[in-house]
Chains A and B, each alone.
Chain A
Amino acid sequence: MAKTKRIIITILLRLLAFGATLSATVVMVTSHESAEVMNIKFSAKYSNSPTFKFYVTAEAIATGYGLIVLFLSSRRSFDRLIVILDVVIALILTSSISAALAVAQIGKKGDTHAGWLPVCNQVPKFCDHVTGALIAGFVAAIVYLVLNLYSLHVFLTPLFPV
C-alpha cells in the first residue's frame, strides 16, 4: 500500500514537471513579435538573446529526460541513477530559470546605469509571452526540487524509526 502510494505520487510529480517543462519550451520558442517605431523595425524573437536560447535548450533537455524517466520509473535497478540524474536536471533547471529571469528583468525595467532602455514598451506581447514561459519554467524547477526531496525521504522512510 505504501509502495503504490509512493509510486503514484512520484508519477504525478513527474507528469507535472514534464508538462511544465514542455509548455515552457513551446511557449518560449513560439514567442516573436515585430513592431515598427518611427520607421525602424523592431523584431523580437527568443533567439536574439543567448540567455533565452540556453533556457530553451535546458527546458528541452529536461522534457526529454522526463519523458524517458516516465517510461522507466517502474524498474528498480535504475533507482539510484534516476535520483542522481534528478538532482542534475533540477540544477540545470534552476540555473536556466535564474539566468532567464535576470535578463528578462533588464528587458522589462532597463538599466539606467548602463544606458540600456527597456524593450517591453515596444514589444508588449513578446514580453507577456516570455513571462508565461518563465512562469512555467519556475513551476518546473520547484516541482523538481520537491521531487528530489521526496525521493530522499522515500529512500529513508522504511528505515528510520522517526
Chain B
Amino acid sequence: MALQSGEKLPMFIGHVWSKQKRRWTLLGLRLLAFLAAAAATLVMVLNKQTKTFVVATIGTTPVNLTLTAKFHHTPAFVFFAIANGLVSIHNLVMIMVDLLGSKFDYKGFQLPMIASLDMLNLALVSGGANAAAFMAELGKNGNSHARWDKICDKFGAYCDRGAGALIASFLALALMLVISFLSILNLKLVNSSSHNSHNNIIALPN
C-alpha cells in the first residue's frame, strides 16, 4: 500500500474512504451496538413469568402450585446480562471519548487502547451470548439422556422474551465484530514524530 500524507487511507477492498466518513461510520455503528446490547440487557433482566399449576385434587379443591421463572435462577443468564451491560457501557464510553475527548492528551495510547478494548469486549459479548444460547436450547429441547424436561412449553412467554434478548445480543455481537475490525484498521504507523493521533496519517507495516 502506498504511503500518503493526505487524508485518505485505501482499504482492502480498494475503496478510498475519507477520515471523516470513517469516523462517522464507526460512531454510527457504536451507537447501534450500544442500543442492541442495552436492549438485550434490559429484556433479560426484566424477564419473569409466574404460572400456577394444578398439581393434585383433594376432594373437590384443587391443590395449586405457583412457579416463577426468573432470569437469575440460571447463572448463564446472569452472565449474559452482565456481559451485555458491560459492552453497552463500553460503547457509550467510546462514543463520549470520540465526541468530547479531542482535547485530552492520550500520549499516543488512544488508538491501541481502543483496538484492544474492542477485542476484549468482543470476546466478552460472544461468551455471554453463546452461553445463554445453549442454556436456552436446553430449556427448549430438554435433554432426554439426563432426564431433564423442557420448560418452554410451560413458560412460553419467558422463552419468547429470552429469545428476543438473544437476538439483540447476537446483533450486538455482529456489530462489535465490524467495529473491532474498523478500529484495528484505524491503527497506522507513526512515521513522523508527531503524537496527536487525530492528525496523523500512518500506514500498516508491510
Binding site for B on A (CB under 8 A): 43-44, 48-51, 54, 80, 83-84, 87, 90-91, 94-103, 105-107, 111, 113-117, 119, 145, 148-149, 152-153, 155-156, 158-162
Taken residue by residue from 133 to 145, chain B's Cβ proximity to chain A (1 for < 8 Å, 0 otherwise) reads as 1110111000101
Binding site for A on B (CB under 8 A): 67-70, 73-76, 79, 107-109, 112, 115-116, 119-120, 122-123, 126-135, 137-139, 143, 145-149, 151, 177, 180-181, 184, 187, 189-191, 193, 202, 204-205
Chain B, residue nearest A43 (CB): B145
Given contacts A99-B133, A102-B75, A156-B112, contact A91 B146 (CB under 8 A): no
Q: Are the C-beta atoms of B69 and A113 separated by less than 8 Å?
A: yes
Q: Are the C-beta atoms of B69 and A102 separated by less than 8 Å?
A: no
- Report the minimum CB–CB distance from A73 to chain B (whole Å): 16
Chain B, residue nearest A47 (CB): B145
Measured in the bound complex, the distance between the Cα atoms of B68 and A160 in whole Å is: 56
Q: Are the C-beta atoms of A87 and B127 separated by less than 8 Å?
A: no
Enumerate chain B residues within 8 angstroms of A51, measured Cβ to Cβ.
134, 137-138
Measured in the bound complex, the distance between the Cα atoms of B134 and A106 in whole Å is: 12
Task: Please list the 10 inter-chain residue pairs (A to B) with the smallest Cβ-Cβ separation, ordered nearest first.
Answer: A95-B130, A98-B127, A102-B76, A48-B145, A99-B134, A102-B131, A98-B131, A113-B73, A116-B148, A51-B134
